[in-house]
Structure 1
Amino acid sequence: MFTSQGPTLRELAVQALSSVERGYDLLAPKFDLTPFRTPDRILDETVRELRPYGPFRTGLDVCCGTGAGTGALRHLCAERVVGVDFSAGMLGMARHAEPSADWVRADVRALPFRPAFDLAVSFGAFGHFLPKERPGLFAQVHAALRPGGIFAFPVGAPPHFGSPAYLAMLGFDTVMRVRNLVWRPGFVMYYRTFPLREVLAELQRAGFEVELRPMEGLGRRRDGSVRCATVVARRRA
């Protein structure tokens, strides 16, 4: 939840009426005080799920933001860790929090890397990409990995139809679509544009072998389904 130390309603409104890049530049100093930061328990469980696939030497945090995921990579990678994002403000905060990592400002739809990484991760960023952009994004990550390298990210179970969480996501996406119809520059952020079945198929077409690992440490819902899982996509050798 938002706290008194986090962004004010006015600050959030200004950010929401900016471009994605400018909005995150403005939000950066208070980003870690918002619900948008990936919770530590999800980061910790992702590390736990990925550890058996190691050891890893080099890691890449795709859309690193303020560096929470990059810090998690430190527990998995023995050598170089790199965070990439297009917001200078977010990278500035990340650099302050994790000075030993390398930070690169770039659009992840055009990553400036050769196949140099054993592991790539991403946390909470996919809502900023339209469905038509995902295949290109996955191809870029594939190209940055060594043969046999892994691209991993957590996915939450979709909320049940009609539940408060479902209605909240539906309402948010509807407001964003209306905003983008009437206001420029656009701000791409949607919660319901990342259907897991389509995403897994797109990863396979990009050249990955894909598996889905339940994150049992985060518990199960009342119907017995897992709350969260880790997508583990391995670049084919």
Structure 2
Amino acid sequence: MFEPQGPTLRELAVQALSSVEHGYDLLAPKFDHTPFRTPGHVLDAVTQALHTLGPFERGLDLCCGTGAGIDVLREVCRGRVAGVDFSAGMLDRARRQTPEGVAWVRGDALALPFGEAFDLLVSFGAFGHFLPRERPALFAEAYRVLRPGGRFVFPIGAPPPVRSRAYWMLLGFDSVMRVRNAVWRPPFVMYYLGFGLPEASAELTRAGFEVTLRDLPELGRRPDGSPRARAVVATKPHAAETPHARETPHAQES
């Protein structure tokens, strides 16, 4: 499951008993050697989907971690790209291993330090860190920092069948995390079930987005022929344009 350079069981235990922010600060040096990093084939599939939607100017990787999604933005965006995350450790790792020209910004996804500055937002594997009550604020922030016509795009997998081993493994993990958070502080929010395509579409629509889907055929199909994953494409309508929309980010880089 982990590469030899990955974290030890003890290191994972320490991380799991920390807050989300501090836990990722601790994990950052070895994060890219864990299965938590978004796989390259997922990034490639989303890149292909974005090529059919672009080109774009400015791009932002929301909850960027060590920067796995930045290469996606660099390929489809003609202007400057940025990554935002609340973990200083993850940002430091991203900065060390990414070419110059990327703005790395430390910030809270629920209160983004930008104006209406981006044409494209992407996010990979971050939504399990947000409780259901927090997602309206998350999507409202994504909507706010996009220019009219801008798009918020992220992959979402088909749910595993209830009778599958994967489903019960994820359910077991979520159950352990709920018990851990009930008896230990600070909480570590990371849940795999409970945020699927219906929830994503409904919550993005309530935030003001127009939502469409793109199949990601590169990631395979299920036995019934349906795709194993889709890209959610949430577009901020042009009607949302305001006369004083900001043209550039005003955040300071971390």
d(CA) in 1 for partners of 2:54, 2:97: 25
1:13-61 Cα distance to aligned partner (Å, 9 max, x none): 0000000000000000000000000000000110100112111110000
In structure 1, give the amino acid aligned to 2:40: D
Q: Give 1:106 deviation, angstroms.
A: 0.5
Contact map agreement 1:120 1:141 (CA 8 A) in 2: yes
The aligned runs of 1:160-199 (5 Å cut-off) are 160-199=161-200
- Which one-letter code corresponds to 1:54 in the other structure? G
CA-based RMSD:
0.8
Q: 192-201 or 170-179: which moved more?
A: 192-201
TM-score computed with the length of structure 1 as normaliser = 0.98
Question: Which residue matches 1:156?
Answer: 157
Report what 1:55 is aligned to: 55
Q: In 2, Cα distance between the equivalents of 1:212 and 1:55?
A: 18
Q: Which position in structure 2 is the counterpart of 1:17?
A: 17
The offset of 1:223, in angstroms, is 2.2
Report the TM-score when normalising by structure 2: 0.92
Match of 1:141 in 2: 142
Question: Is 1:6–1:31's contact at 8 Å kept on the other side of the alignment?
Answer: yes
Task: Give the equivalent residue in structure 1 for 2:26.
Answer: 26
Q: Alignment partner of 1:109: what SS? A: coil
Counterpart in 1 of 2:203?
202
Letter aligned with residue 72 of structure 1: V
Partner SS state of residue 121, structure 2:
strand
Q: 2:146 is matched by which residue type in structure 1?
A: L
Contact 1:211 1:233 in 2 (8 A): yes
User: Which amino acid in structure 1 is aligned with residue 59 of structure 2?
Assistant: G
Q: How many residues align?
A: 237
Tell whether the 8 Å contact from 2:110 to 2:141 is kept in structure 1 after alignment: yes
Unaligned runs of 5+ in 1: none
Take 1:21 and 1:219, find their aligned partners in 2: how far apart are those partners?
34
**Contact kept? 2:18, 2:186, Cα under 8 Å:** yes
| Matched residue SS, 1:201 | helix
Are the counterparts in 2 of residues 59 and 119 from structure 1 also a CA contact under 8 Å?
A: yes
Q: Matched residues in 1 for 2:218 and 2:225: separation?
A: 14
CA distance in 2: counterparts of 1:4 and 1:216, whole angstroms:
32
8 A contact 1:130–1:193 mirrored in 2: no
2:251 maps to: none
1:49 maps to a residue whose letter is A
Deviation at 1:100, TM superposition (A): 2.1
Q: Following the alignment from structure 1 to structure 2, what is the Cα–Cα distance between the partners of residues 71 and 188?
A: 27
**Which runs of no fewer than 5 residues in structure 2 stay unpaired?**
239-254
| % identical aligned pairs | 65
Contact 1:149 1:235 in 2 (8 A): yes
Opposite residue 71 of structure 2, the aligned amino acid is G
